[in-house]
């Protein structure tokens, strides 16, 4: 057992391999002759992380992924690279459902509600239904949307995670043809590729065009599994609009000019909305979002032959119609905007000065959404709420996972619907699917728990595991980080087990319950290391230090208690 102390002046003696001690230090005597007890509390609030400490294990690089990353109180292990395609998994590089990219798109007049939409998730945490597959930023005089600048530029691999960016895993089967650029989905236009692995092994190159459509290319041949770590600005997914922006704040070249015929038509729509270039940029943008979020599915009442004016004036159509009309109107007004879509949804992106590109969901209408590939995945939640107006016609939409949603658990749906990630309550322990389909435990926020988990009975066909933990720091202070390390092995052969979630707890010897400190995943040899803050509210005295793994579908759960 080992000991930690909250003392400023002295450290306590190690009492054994897994004991932890929290204590006060005697610093001075009061006027009454009694000792004055003092405990140092870090005014910075402990170690909150700078971004890089969210990655577990080795540094991310081309050809080498880290074993996982932390997201709040959760650990998201890297997807397995040696994984054959699922029975219904689309293969990028082929043609068909969920793999085709639109390079041009003409609006249609089928403005009634969609029936069942099908969506394939490849990212973890899941961004359903907002996987970026096609982005179109220009428009011709016949209203065909296009990529204004299709020239490709290279995307470098690498970079350290930053606190203001959200991390994601991507995993796809790709059929490579030497020299062929394969359309690659992304989470955001300003996404970075921090690392990747390919199986069978090989090297790849990444590119993107002027509308931030991503591509991947390799000289290898045949089907390969690509697993990559990507990140994106948190501001893309939600947040307030800066006030007082001006149209002159938009950098030159960001707005895609529209043809004269389209510009004249857009002037009619400006008048209906009541928007001008003379008002603040943020005010004009909010007016546009409100107007196009008020669309309803239904027939065009009096078609004129001008599909843009018919849609925009009547405010009819589903996601693809409102996103098309928004893109045209915004660009004509001087607000850089894109039409973005995948196999199940379409939305818009706008450029906000001093912020960057921002996702603008305008809603849609569908009777049912069927999701594939999201089993066991965490759900992405923006750090801040959408800062745009939300009229009643927009609030009940499948994009907020309301309605008949198949392929997601009720816990996943509730997680998204609970709102922005900041200020959320601590989840309560309970069963949850892990990324490979095993049964784990609901991710916890560091803090008190009613009980430390115990391993359930070993299921048939699952190998038993043994988890060990040892101290790195022999003492520490409440509110400051301490480190522990250990290993998970299979007892039969002593081999390390990689990719298993590990949770670290402390439990007061004289009291019930305990405290969850943090989690990580095991490396290739089964080893792990955790740095976690000691709870400020933990009572003084001896504590047991316990490690627990929920296991997965192949390896059983185990703990040190």
Could you report the per-residue pLDDT of 454-491, keeping only the tens digit for each?
Answer: 898 888 889 999 999 987 776 767 777 778 889 999 99
For the ranges 154-163, 305-314, 501-510, 547-556, the one whose mean pLDDT is highest: 305-314
Alpha helices (runs of H) in 219-340, residue ranges in sequence order = 260-273, 281-293, 307-314, 319-333
pLDDT at 435 over 70: no
Q: Is the backbone of residue 401 left (phi > 0), alpha (psi -120 to 50) or beta? A: left
What are the start and end residues of each CATH 2.60.40.1930 domain in the chain?
19-50+436-559
Nearest partner of 141 among 265, 254, 255, 253, judged by Cα: 265
CA separation for the pair 560, 544 (Å, rounded): 10
Question: For residues 385 and 294, what is the distance between their CA atoms, to the nearest angstrom?
Answer: 19
Q: Of 165-174, 369-378, 552-561, which gets the smallest average pLDDT?
A: 552-561
Which residues are CB-contacts of 22 (< 8 A; sequence separation ≥ 6)?
4, 5, 6, 478, 534, 538, 539, 540, 541, 543
Phi, psi of 96 (to 5 degrees): 135, -165
Which helix (DSSP H) or strand (DSSP E) does residue 392 occupy?
helix 392-395
pLDDT(436) > 80: no
d(CA 428, CA 108): 47
Per-residue confidence (pLDDT) for residue 51, from 0 to 100: 55
22/43 Cα distance (integer angstroms): 19
Six-digit token string for 73 = 């109180």
Q: For all residues of the chain together, what is the average pLDDT?
A: 84
CA atoms within 13 A on the CB side of 459: 11
User: Using omega within 30 degrees of 0 as the cis cutoff, is the peptide bond preceding 129 cis?
Assistant: yes
Phi then psi for residue 117, to 5 deg, are: -105, 145
Q: What is the pLDDT of residue 197?
A: 96
8 A C-beta contact, residue 329 and residue 269 = yes
Omega before 200 cis (within 30°)?
Answer: yes
Single out the residue of 439, 409, 456, 431 nearest to residue 553, CA to CA.
439
What pLDDT score was predicted for residue 52?
Answer: 54
Report residue 249 as tokens: 């704040």
Q: Is 395 helix (H, G, I), strand (E, B) or coil?
A: helix
Torsional sign, CA 284, 286, 291, 295: positive
Q: Give residue 540's pLDDT.
A: 74
Q: Which residues pair with 548 in a beta bridge?
A: 503, 559
Radius of gyration, alpha carbons of the chain: 27
Q: Tell whether pTM > 0.85.
A: no
What residues does CATH 3.10.620 cover in the chain?
Answer: 247-417
User: When comparing pLDDT for 50 and 88, which is higher?
Assistant: 88
Superfamily of domain 19-50+436-559: Macroglobulin (MG2) domain (2.60.40.1930)
Q: How many helices (H) and strands (E) would you count in the chain?
A: 6, 36
Least confident of 352-366, 379-393, 412-426, 504-518: 412-426
Q: Could you read off the pLDDT of 359-394 as tens digits, one per residue?
A: 999 998 777 899 999 998 999 999 999 999 999 888
Most confident of 42-46, 248-252, 506-510: 248-252
Q: Does the pLDDT value for residue 217 go beyond 60?
A: yes
Q: What is the pLDDT of residue 472?
A: 77
Q: Is the pLDDT of residue 345 over 90?
A: yes
Which residues are 170's β-sheet partners?
A: 123, 228
Contact 217, 179 (CB under 8 A): yes
- Check residue 521 and give its pLDDT: 83
CATH code for residues 247-417: 3.10.620
Question: Residue 139: beta bridge partners?
Answer: 145
Long-range contacts of 248-255 (CB under 8 A, 24+ apart): 249/281, 249/353, 249/354, 250/281, 250/334, 250/335, 250/336, 250/351, 250/353, 251/353, 254/336, 254/351, 255/331, 255/334, 255/335, 255/336
DSSP assignment letter at 33: S
Give yes or no for a contact between 366 and 150, defined as CB atoms under 8 angstroms apart: no
């Amino acid at each position: 057992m080992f000991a930690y102390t909250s003392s400023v002046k002295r450290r306590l003696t190690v009492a054994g391999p897994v004991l932890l001690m929290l204590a006060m230090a005697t610093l001075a005597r009061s006027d009454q002759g009694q000792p004055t007890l003092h405990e140092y509390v870090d005014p910075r609030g402990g170690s909150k992380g700078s971004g890089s400490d969210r990655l577990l294990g080795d540094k991310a690089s081309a050809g080498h992924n880290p074993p996982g990353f932390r997201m709040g109180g959760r650990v998201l292990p890297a997807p397995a690279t040696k994984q054959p395609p699922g029975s219904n998994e689309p293969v990028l590089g082929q043609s068909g459902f969920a793999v085709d990219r639109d390079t041009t798109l003409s609006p249609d007049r089928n403005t009634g509600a969609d029936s069942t939409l099908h969506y394939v998730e490849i990212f973890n945490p899941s961004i359903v239904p907002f996987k970026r597959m096609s982005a179109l930023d220009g428009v011709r005089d016949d209203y065909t949307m296009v990529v204004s600048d299709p020239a490709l530029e290279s995307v470098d691999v690498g970079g350290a995670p930053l606190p203001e960016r959200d991390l994601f895993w991507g995993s796809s089967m790709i059929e490579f043809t030497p020299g062929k650029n394969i359309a690659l989905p992304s989470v955001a236009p300003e996404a970075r590729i921090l690392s990747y692995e390919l199986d069978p092994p090989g090297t790849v190159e990444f590119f993107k065009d002027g509308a931030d459509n991503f591509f991947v290319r390799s000289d290898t041949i045949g089907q390969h599994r690509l697993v990559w770590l990507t990140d994106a600005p948190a501001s893309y997914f939600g947040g307030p609009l800066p006030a007082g922006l001006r149209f002159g704040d938009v950098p030159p070249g960001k707005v895609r000019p529209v043809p004269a015929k389209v510009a004249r038509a857009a002037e009619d729509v400006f008048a209906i909305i009541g928007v001008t270039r003379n008002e603040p940029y943020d005010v004009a943008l909010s007016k546009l979002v409100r107007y196009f979020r008020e669309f309803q599915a239904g027939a065009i009442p009096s078609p004129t032959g001008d599909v843009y004016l018919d849609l925009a004036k009547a405010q009819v159509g589903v996601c693809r119609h409102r996103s098309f009309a928004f893109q045209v109107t915004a660009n004509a007004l001087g607000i850089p905007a894109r039409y973005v879509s995948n196999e199940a949804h379409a939305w818009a992106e706008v450029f906000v000065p001093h912020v960057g590109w921002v996702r603008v969901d305008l809603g849609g209408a569908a009777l049912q959404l069927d999701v594939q590939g999201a089993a066991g995945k965490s759900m992405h939640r923006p750090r801040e709420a959408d800062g745009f107006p939300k009229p009643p016609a927009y609030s009940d939409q499948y994009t907020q996972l309301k309605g008949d949603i198949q392929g997601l658990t009720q816990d996943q749906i509730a997680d998204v619907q609970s709102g922005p990630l900041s200020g959320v309550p601590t989840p309560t322990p309970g069963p949850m699917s892990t990324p490979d389909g095993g049964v784990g435990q609901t991710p916890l926020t560091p803090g008190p728990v009613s009980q430390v988990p115990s391993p359930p009975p070993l299921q048939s066909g699952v190998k038993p595991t043994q988890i060990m933990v040892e101290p790195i720091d022999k003492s520490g202070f409440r509110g400051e980080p301490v480190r522990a390390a250990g290993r998970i092995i299979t007892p039969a052969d002593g081999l390390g087990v990689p990719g298993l979630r590990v949770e670290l707890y402390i439990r007061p010897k004289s009291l019930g319950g305990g405290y969850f400190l943090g989690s990580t995943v095991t490396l290739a040899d089964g080893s792990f290391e955790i740095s976690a803050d000691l709870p400020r509210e933990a009572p003084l005295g001896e504590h047991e230090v316990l490690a627990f793994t929920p296991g997965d579908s192949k390896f059983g759960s185990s703990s040190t208690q």
